[in-house]
Structure 1
Amino acid sequence: MASFSLIIFCFYFSLPSIFDGFVSGISLGSSLAVNANNFWVSSPKGSFAFGFFNRSDEEPNQYGLGIRYNSLLIPTSAQRVVWSAGGDVIVGPQASLQLTMEGDLVLLDPPKSLPAWTSNTSKLSVSQASLLDNGNLILLDSNNKMVWQSFETPSDTVLPGQNLTAQTLRAATRDTVSSYYSLALDDTGQLELKWETSINYWRSGTASLGAIGLMIGSNGALQLYDKEFRPVWLRFGEDHDDPSVGFRHLRLDMDGNLRMYSWVKEIGSWREVWRAIENRCEVFATCGQQGLCVLTPTGEALCRCPFKSSEISNSSENIKCLAPYQQCSSGTTLTALKHTVLYSLYPPHDAVNYLSLSQCRDSCLSDETCTAVTVMADGSGECRMKTTRFVTGYKHASVPSISYVKDCLDPMALNPGIIISQTPSVEPSSPKRRHGFCLPCLLGAACGTLLAFFVIQIGVCYCFLRHRRRKEKIHMERRAMAISRGPIRLTYLEIKDLTKDFSEKLGSAVYKGVLPGNRLVAIKELERDVPEKQFRSVLSMVGSIHHKNLVKLEGYCCDSEHRYMVYEYMKNGSLDSLLVGPRKKRRLSWRRRAEIWTGVSRGLAYLHGECHRFIGHGSLKLENILLDQDLVPHLTHFALPDRQAPRAEIDVLAFGKLLLEMVTGQVAGPTLCAWAYEEWAQGRVQGVLDADLDGSKVAWGEVERVLRVAFWCLQARAGLRPSIAEVVKVLEGLLTVDPPPFPFNGDHPLTENEGESPENGGIGHVWSESCELGLPENGIGGGYGGEGLGDDTMLENVGESPKNDGDGPTWPDSGELRPHFET
């Protein structure tokens, strides 16, 4: 449990009274440090405190900055953290917080040069900070007007008086699974619990009721309200309207469940008074990679691995429980798990068919990619196939299903509980010697033999036809599963059928296809000489990638020399057609463009740092950004098996070019970058903006920030470019950024690696005065067309940090921050 008890820090503050005396003010220039005196900032009545706290009792020197309960009625060990700066930001023992003279709250963590977190309020005329008695940390201007509050940036907790509207709660991080849980209101007004971005495992059921926000009352009522502040959904804690309860909160816990808690003074502890999901095993990925969830009679959820003899305890979090099947030469078998539901974790999608129990079981045995299968006995007839070893699920006597786990048919690898039936041996009896000759016996034997032969032949033919028809039926049903939620394997003939013999071309080697149920897909043809092993390796990697801003892989074909990848279809096509193409009549507003480039940066950051391994894009441009029906951007053209892997700074460079194109509305050509930089440097930002945009609806401060980011990304020296993760923070307004130097040297072209060129093995792209990207023919490809550049190496920061010598960025004393220019 996070604790404040061992932290020592100091805050120098003044105490002017504002808001009718309910808060204490913290003046500009104040500072707080982990290793100073034993003081913290508390609210006027002492209900809450703001300061540093231990992230973990087991691991020393890991601290967070946040707000916790501070009432004398609650012992120190039970004083929960209700808000954390930056979510799960961890800092060291040298960390400090400053309220700068410019009005920014800045969390510093030496020796790191970048701030760990900032309130980004330097332009809001902040005069002081205050902690209210309801647990809200606020920043006030000189007129005592609130310009920032912690209630608008929640972490995992909602307090009475706090409204959750467009914000998202995220569970505190315990491991790689719990950090994926989130709570938010969707576009229909439903409250949703999600795992990652695509798995909804609980909803409030309030669609179309007009809910716009969530709040918890001090009386223990949880409600969703509409724009007239009328409740449209109500849930009550067990101690609703109990006047003896002094403290309550709603929290998204580490296990993915949403709960309401009350402080019970009589027993001196927090009491759970409401939960969203009664059966904890119904929370998606409760056990993560540690097996199946089993609910005990007391309601405790245990994680047990059905593939091993020993139970996995909560302390064995590093142990992974994986489905046992891998490619094997000794044949395969299935182990039955009754009253068990299994589902895939990475990727979190199963292929769903409607088959009988025997057909479902046989389909898994005949499919070399199948690792496990679940047959639902609830009347739906669903056959849920998994093609990954990362499998989890739940088990209970009331669950109407049976699951089968595949394993190699090897006596040494079999579970001792599996029984393989064998035909008992029969000792042959001693033949009796015959001395006579019986003609009727011979005729009868011959006729019987012929009859048996014909019966056997008919039976063999019948079984063969039946088996072939059953295989065809299974094949067609797999093809026709319109609700399939995972990549499916297709034959070349099926690809031809889906595309109507490749009749409608979408781009270079990309064709439009239609799955049953009128589900549109885009089918990408790859080079035929891609080795099958390499192709399947890429499929395994791409199949585990799931992000809102990445095109989803729906299926694939690996038939003899044919290689195809089937992607979801994007209704609005590529970004270039809406920005500079013939469809430009559909104008993109400034706000829409900002949403698009922010989404693109998030998708790219996911590829670079949030997958199981680094994935470069290598061909980031307008044509390779696809827009769905809601104009949400999806990156395509990445991680294809017939291309090489690019370096990270290449993607950052291309992203800077893309930003400039979206701001100006022009395709980057000769002199565009130099012209745009010159206009910006001379203070003529309006001249850089796309003439089709309505200037009255443009946030000029945001234009300035985006242009700075673009020019930093376009630096010819790779060491000066930020990482894409830092770019995301700047675009989201979490960091500010310095004015950039001139992006490139106009005297001569520069290569990515000084002294190297594409001809002698350097990165295949050259910067010239025109700011154009020269992309080689053998670069990375993908998606719907276009070529890119490639290099097998990962990003390595080399060289020295830039100094204020006119050749790099300058660091002002005003507290402004750069995203990342560490070389």
Structure 2
Amino acid sequence: MRSRNQTWMLLSFLLLFLAPKTHFCTAADTISAGQSLIPNQTLISKDENFELGFFQPGTSPNSYIGIWYKKVSVENKTVVWVANRDTPLTDLASFELKLSEDGNLVLLNQLKVAVWSTNITSSAMNSSEVVLGDDGNLVLRNRVKPSDVFWQSFDHPTDTWLPGGNIRYDNRTKKAQLLTSWKNINDPGTGLYSLELDPTGDQYVISRNRTQRYWTSGPWNGRIFSGVPEMRSNYIYNFSYTKNENESYFTYSLYNASIVSRFVMDVSGQIKQSSWAANTKNWFLFWSQPRQQCDVYDFCGAFGMCDQNLPSCTCLDGFKPRTPKEWNITDYSGGCVRQTSLQCNTDEFSLLQNVKFPANQRSNQQSLAVPSASGADECKSACLNNCSCSAYAYSGGCSVWNGDLLSLQKTPDGDGSGIDLYLRLAASTGAKNKGTRTPAIVGAAAGIVAFLGLVFLVVWRWRIRQSVGTSKTVEGSLVAFTYRDLQNATKNFSEKLGGGGFGSVFKGTLPDTTVIAAKKLEALGQGEKQFRSEVSTIGTIQHVNLVRLRGFCSEGDKRLLVYDYMPNGSLDHHMFNQQASKMLNWKVRYQIALGTARGLTYLHEKCRDCIIHCDIKPENILLDADFCPKVADFGLAKLIGREFSRVLTTMRGTRGYLAPEWISGVAITAKADVYSYGMMLFEIISGRRNSEHSEDEMVKFFPTWAARKISEDEEVLALLDYRLEGTADVEELTRACRVACWCIQDDESHRPTMGQVVQILEGVMEVNPPPIPRTLQVLVENEGNIHFFSETTSNRSSQTRSTSSASSQTKSNISLTSSKT
């Protein structure tokens, strides 16, 4: 009896072990023949970087097989690849992912019919296995000979481009590999926007529906894509481009493998490069193209208006969203439809002021000219008499648009690049600002308006004189301006001084003749109470080396800051201008470097709470009438809030000053400003941008060459702007060079504080020759790929005597923090 029981136990064990259908065990990285993956089971890569399994995106009830980051913890999974993106699963419990008998990986539904498959034919497939790699690549390979790869997910990307992957063009089949956006945040299906390689120009392009191109990287010139100058600051990513008779492709990797980074063809129509910030548990946007959301072709759909300030879309007057449900999740591709159908000859027109030209859907032309229309009335009639005409404009000539209006953009205040467009609406809609009037009526009205305008002007000037200093409320030391005050002061924002990711700056004059600079903030999501609170805090911060905040404006969605006007503009205008009359001598440069350091020290160490600037660069150092430096835009990091990193990294010229911790995910401290200051100090010394593009299309990165010179304690005059012809105090120059190199050390604990920088530049503290920063050392070791500044551009300065020969001795073997005796 005992023997019989043992026999049955053995048979049961063998049947269980030899069963043809076995489910995969959680936490393995491999699926072998006969094994399957079912819901609630996952495949995890060896070092637990990536995970594969079933998931539901956003609020969707549908399920998909996908790969996501295992170590990136956010509310929703960060999915990098989807197998069945266009064939969602509805009854999840009965599905399984299985390595079939023919060696293919297949996704089976409840009827055991393949929903998705790798679909490969090979005689060696009977010995296949599936492995999820730590690079995020799912590989179907030969179990006996792993180097034989039958299929891999890197060859079939969805919306994400991971390091080590490539988006290629097959030169034999003439087929392009696509990186295609999701439809929306709840649907990973094939979306409207795609990135692909155009082999004819060796460039990447983004298009809508693969028909309308709206961005290009520019051709590969052997070093970078010409339309992506940010690639010159190549201290994080290793780029390469390959072209042969079989294929063309671009790929990238990371010098620091601990950084988590990805490229995504986003649902917004922008290609975005992001890195994971572990300290804040958020994705940090490092780069995106097109920079402006409204530059994405037809982002708001037909009859939608794109507003860059939000950024968002609204339907034109008389229209409503075609699919409100999609609009609520920021999927505007469906556009807008008329609330009331047109009646042709009885229709009216509504005025849309200062909008950018729309594109015509049918002809892909911006507009159709009507040469026979010699005036506004005739132009209106030409459109009205054509039932297909949707809008017209008259500005020295008549233009009409037929069919749907696409890519309409609202231009910012003060930007006169737009046109007045008359939109066709049904008469029952109640069109505003209807069309144009006859010349007789216009002439009569003009006379009345002129008279009333003259009376109004006299009264207005009298009231302004009476109200100077009394009509504005005051919070602390700040003036609370009305929007009309600033419109009047800036002549309706007509004189633009500059602009960036935070907004545009306009010159103005107050009634008491005080000249101001008014900054119109964009991408601001704060309420009025919080905005006033933060502005009041900034207003209490006053220092000789900080731009003074005079006041602000907060009305509705309008947010403006009012500063003292700086007559000598920004530092970059003087440093990088080739006109000798605008060139700054060494004494002025040194005082600018010292004054800027004092301003940052005040922000970091003297305020009640440490204020991190986050965007130190020459453009944010303003100069008063005496060339005294003033740090501008401090406090905006907190004022802008969570949108700050997005705004910061989309601004041209900012990336070269960002500390490595912005990318690696380490917490941002005041030492990030120290790094940016060091990069800017190198530019003050050399009189040129740190990263320049030479005529031979090679990248020149000055800090690398300078750091090597400084670490080897070589002649510092070779680093000086050659235009100064060696006219500099050598001891001051040595201090500046050394402190600049200490400031850009990779480890923030090795960087000095801004207080120490001030002491070094003042001569109170001395400093040893610094080591070459690790990221720059990588570039030194790869000199074959990077063209550094050569001494031929600076040897004129090294051969000239210094104005202070007595100070040419530099001390050694003294630590960074030791005091001068």
TM-score, normalised on structure 1? Answer: 0.41
Higher normalized helix content (fraction of residues): 2
TM-score, normalised on structure 2? Answer: 0.42
